[in-house]
A = this chain, B = another copy of it.
């Protein structure tokens, strides 16, 4: 039973904060759009009026927001009121270099920061079965691993500050490539006159199978482009992938390709579609070469 704060009650953060509460913690939440906290208030969770108020109450604060600059902005509101040694746990997917810098800056102010990006999607958040990649020093991460238990299936320390973000980006590369494989396979099959349901079933059950086949495949078959994980958020992560790859001289041509294909959806105003809509880009495209 701890005094926990949770900042960012979106599709992921909302259910995660609820899990913390249900596990018996005293939870205080804050969200930029206050309306999203009403479901938490109704469940008996404290809703802070400001980040300062939240920070003053808590010994550990989870963040689940969007970009590096959003994390920085929230911390700017939290840190001045935070108790010495407060543990900040960042579940957002941000720049690894940014995460490392933030950890160093907070350390200089007597605070602690662990990057702890998550994967597993909205169902994973709802069901408490997320995978969490933790970067930070061993003692801090050990505390984090206890705290996140109510919503993690797998949580591990993967290295020092920034490592959690690095592994999350590696994860997005694997997800993006598998998505491309699915969409390219099905769009070719469609043009070849094959039955898509049969193609999906037969190929997905063999050496071409993947989580993407199982989970995004049905969206493609139904041509249902409601999120899911949006093109916009996927491209945000790919931006960090490109930046991080450049910094360590890593080649990520597949990720760059997927990003360029999703950029077409973005340009057409479909940034809120689910990433499986990559299928539509390939389906209409003309063969190159």
Contact = CB atoms under 8 A, between A and B. Distances in A.
Interface of A: 96, 119-121, 131, 133, 154, 156, 158-159, 163, 166-167, 169-178, 180-182, 184-189, 191-195, 198-199, 202-203, 205-213, 215, 241-242, 244-246, 248-257, 261, 282, 285-289
Contact of A184 (B120, B202, B254, B285): B254
A120 B207 contact: yes
Given A177-B185, A252-B287, A257-B257, 15 more contacts: A96-B192, A131-B206, A154-B206, A158-B195, A159-B194, A163-B194, A167-B194, A171-B202, A173-B181, A174-B182, A180-B181, A192-B248, A209-B210, A245-B287, A256-B288
Contacts of A166: 189, 192-194
Contacts of A191: 248-250
Instruction: Tell me the number of copies of this protein.
Output: 2
Contacts of A256: 288-289
B173 A185 contact: yes
24 contacts: A156-B198, A166-B192, A166-B194, A171-B207, A173-B181, A174-B181, A174-B208, A174-B209, A174-B210, A181-B254, A184-B252, A187-B250, A192-B244, A208-B211, A209-B210, A210-B210, A210-B211, A245-B287, A246-B287, A249-B286, A251-B285, A253-B257, A253-B261, A253-B282
A288 B252 CA distance: 8
A234 to B, nearest CB: 12
Nearest to A178: B181
Contacts of A242: 289
B207 A175 contact: yes
Contacts of A121: 207
A121 to B, nearest CB: 6
B181 A185 contact: no
A211 B208 CA distance: 7
A203 B167 contact: yes
Nearest to A119: B206
